[in-house]
Amino acid sequence: MSISEEPRLYASREPIFPRRVFGRFRTLKWWIMAGTLAIYYLTPWIRWDRGPNLPDQAVLVDISTRRFFFFMIEIWPQEFYFVAGLLIMAGLGLFLFTSAAGRVWCGYACPQTVWTDLYILVERWIEGDRNARIRLHRQKWDLEKWRKRLAKWAVWLLIGVATGGAWVFYFTDAPTLLRDLFAGTAAPVAYGTIATLTATTFVFGGFAREQICIYACPWPRIQAAMMDEDTLTIGYRGWRGEPRGKLGGAGNGDCIDCMACVNVCPMGIDIRDGQQLACITCGLCIDACNGIMEKVGKPLNLISYMALTDETRERAGRPPKSVWKHIFRPRTILYTTLWAGVGVALVVALFLRHNLDVSVTPVRNPTHVVLADGAIRNTYNLRLRNKHGEDRWFTFSANSPATLVLSLEGSNDLRVLVPANETLEQRLYVTAAPDSLGAMTAHTPLRLWISDEDGIKVPRAERVYANTIFNGKDD
Ligand code: SF4
Ligand code: SF4
């Protein structure tokens, strides 16, 4: 085989001009599109009063304080396990939906699908439906074509800017950033991010479209592992539709070969050829075909959501299983249980966490110092995080079989003020008097107590830390 005959890894793109379609899946897609876009664009503008010293934006990834705010929930960098838990839940949710109903995520809620749908809506609004767009595509670049194309690109660009703009609003106070952006005083990274997201939205939604799903996204390849013969996907009842041909033709099946299902497909595929990697399970071909079946007076659902097991049953003349039997089966119940388990664990962790977070790191190089009078001193580095919205005093005490003296670096007493929503690094010294039990014993157990002063506003403010005093006798 010569090089020119070798199969190519990439086929140049054939433009797709999806026709407008009406039906329940199209309506569902409109609602999901409106909902997801509204959530994305409007969320940064929702205000949430957290009191003084804290941002009043309901959803905010605050880069300056390295915290994530989500309505009444506040996640600190040390609590990254919450984010990890949410990602695990998102992954399990995808597994669940894919094993129950195939690529419904791709067909209905994936950002690539939602924005492409929006861009096609604009395209149809300016250039007309499928036939008009095909004509315009083939037409030479005259005034009309330039006018329509420039108008379409301008609206696409505006959507791209709004998309990039909405993204940066999640990372700082939205009203302030909007003012700064228009005044030209926002950080360069904000302008850079908006420009990048504008460009990617414009190219992915306007030009690349289905190419992203087919060539760039790994999900179609991974999903096969989560699907089985009971998973609902889009199927064509070939045993009913074939041989396709003119309505009323002798021996013809129900498919009148009108191509409506192909013409509405945003991926440009013919589902009658069987399940394909490119199919995003959007259901538009079902709407198109049902519209035709209604017109020609044939039973609906020549194309529908169905599982392989249904196909086998129907071919044998038996009715398909109910949808619920496909959705509730051991595999999906397992995914639901895992998903709910992680969710419950996160909620419990959320309610059990404390407003004061302390970490204690013993300084072990050296493990101890012997003072001039023979006393033994150990050093601890403390990190105190005050997650309250107000400054707070904390006090230190110790429990130990030995008599130990505590002292704080830079403080005359055992109190320290931690500013609101801040982390304070503090050094603590623990000293055992000469010839005392602590100075004479190799390891002395020590429990440090760090308490909120008024003890009422900070529930569970006290902490116990077990540590060991080294006197170096057995070093
Ligand atoms: S074949 Fe049908 S379900 Fe699959 S992408 Fe095309 S229109 Fe959507
Ligand atoms: S829309 Fe239905 S009838 Fe028309 S070509 Fe597709 S499967 Fe056949």
| pLDDT tens digits along 395-450 | 888 877 778 888 999 888 888 898 888 889 999 898 888 888 877 777 788 888 88
Classify residue 291 by burial, with Cβ atoms within 10 Å: 0-12, 13-18, 19+: middle
Instruction: Enter the DSSP assignment of 403.
Output: -
- Atom index in ligand 2 nearest the CA of residue 259 equals 5
- Atom index in ligand 2 nearest the CA of residue 236 equals 7
Does any ligand 2 atom lie closer than 6 A to the CB of residue 302?
A: yes
CA distances to 284, 396, 404 from 448, in Å: 65, 7, 11
Residue with the smallest CA separation from ligand 1 atom 5 is: 279
CA angle at 200 for the pair 199 and 206, rounded to the nearest 5° = 90
Q: How confident is the model at residue 464 (pLDDT cuts 50, 70, 90)?
A: very low
Determine contact, residues 473/443, Cβ cutoff 8 Å: no
- Atom index in ligand 1 nearest the CA of residue 271 equals 1
Average pLDDT over residues 299-304: 96
Does any ligand 1 atom lie closer than 6 A to the CB of residue 227?
A: no
Instruction: Report d(CA 249, CA 244) in Å as an integer.
Output: 9
Beta bridge partners of 303: 236
Residue closest to 325 by CA, chosen among 315, 333, 334: 333
Share of the chain above pLDDT 70, in %: 93
Does any ligand 2 atom lie closer than 6 A to the CB of residue 234?
A: no
**Ligand nearest to the backbone CA of 236:** 2
Longest C-alpha distance within the chain, in Å? 112
For the chain, how big is the Rg over CA atoms in Å?
32
DSSP per position, 128-139: -SHHHHHHHHHS
Weakest-pLDDT range from 297-306, 442-451, 461-470:
461-470
The alpha carbon dihedral of 31, 37, 39, 41 has a sign of negative
Quick one: residue 268, left, alpha or beta (phi over 0 = left, psi -120 to 50 = alpha)?
left
Q: Give me ligand 1 centre to Cα 273, in Å.
A: 12
Determine contact, residues 285/234, Cβ cutoff 8 Å: yes
Of the spans 6-15, 69-78, 123-132, 387-396, which averages the highest pLDDT?
Answer: 123-132
Q: Give me ligand 2 centre to Cα 257, in Å.
A: 5
Whether the per-residue pLDDT at 250 is higher than 50: the answer is yes
Quick one: residue 66, left, alpha or beta (phi over 0 = left, psi -120 to 50 = alpha)?
left
For 343, phi then psi, to 5°, come to -60, -45
Whether the per-residue pLDDT at 317 is higher than 90: the answer is no
Beta bridge partners of 465: 448
Domain boundaries, the chain: 24-224, 228-321, 356-470
Average pLDDT over residues 162-177: 96
- Atom index in ligand 1 nearest the CA of residue 281 equals 3
Weakest-pLDDT range from 1-10, 197-206, 442-451:
1-10
**Residues in contact with 28: Cβ distance below 8 Å, sequence separation at least 6, in sequence order:** 108, 283
Does any ligand 1 atom lie closer than 6 A to the CB of residue 235?
A: no
- Atom index in ligand 1 nearest the CA of residue 234 equals 3
Type of residue found at 203: V
Instruction: Report d(CA 325, CA 310) in Å as an integer.
Output: 11
Which pLDDT score, from 0 to 100, does residue 393 have? 86
Does any ligand 2 atom lie closer than 6 A to the CB of residue 430?
A: no
Determine contact, residues 197/163, Cβ cutoff 8 Å: yes
Instruction: Report d(CA 305, CA 307) in Å as an integer.
Output: 7
- Atom index in ligand 1 nearest the CA of residue 286 equals 2
Beta bridge partners of 304: 235
Average pLDDT over residues 96-107: 92
Instruction: Report d(CA 453, CA 461) in Å as an integer.
Output: 9
Residue with the smallest CA separation from ligand 2 atom 2 is: 289
| Three-state secondary structure call for residue 245 | coil
Q: What is the pTM of this model?
A: 0.82
Alpha helices in 170-303 (DSSP H): 174-183, 188-203, 210-211, 219-223, 238-241, 260-263, 284-296
The position carrying tokens 């959007």 is 282
Does any ligand 1 atom lie closer than 6 A to the CB of residue 177?
A: no
Q: Give me ligand 2 centre to Cα 103, in Å.
A: 22
Instruction: Report d(CA 301, CA 289) in Å as an integer.
Output: 7
Out of 21, 236, 281, give the residue to mutate to test ligand 1, the one with the largest number of ligand atoms within 8 Å of its CB.
281
Does any ligand 1 atom lie closer than 6 A to the CB of residue 126?
A: no
Which pLDDT score, from 0 to 100, does residue 158 have? 97
Does any ligand 1 atom lie closer than 6 A to the CB of residue 205?
A: no
Length of the chain: 475
Does any ligand 2 atom lie closer than 6 A to the CB of residue 428?
A: no
Q: How confident is the model at residue 453 (pLDDT cuts 50, 70, 90)?
A: low
59-62 and 67-70 as β-strands: parallel, antiparallel, unpaired?
antiparallel
Element (H, E) at 39: helix 24-42
Residue with the smallest CA separation from ligand 1 atom 6 is: 265
Does any ligand 2 atom lie closer than 6 A to the CB of residue 289?
A: yes
Residues 335-356 have pLDDT tens digits of: 999 999 999 999 999 888 777 7
Average pLDDT over residues 63-78: 86
Which pLDDT score, from 0 to 100, does residue 78 have? 79
Residue closest to 356 by CA, chosen among 387, 389, 398: 387
Instruction: Supply the CATH classification number for the domain 356-470.
Output: 2.60.40.10
Residue with the smallest CA separation from ligand 2 atom 8 is: 255
CA angle at 208 for the pair 285 and 276, rounded to the nearest 5° = 40
Average pLDDT over residues 374-386: 86
Which pLDDT score, from 0 to 100, does residue 6 have? 66
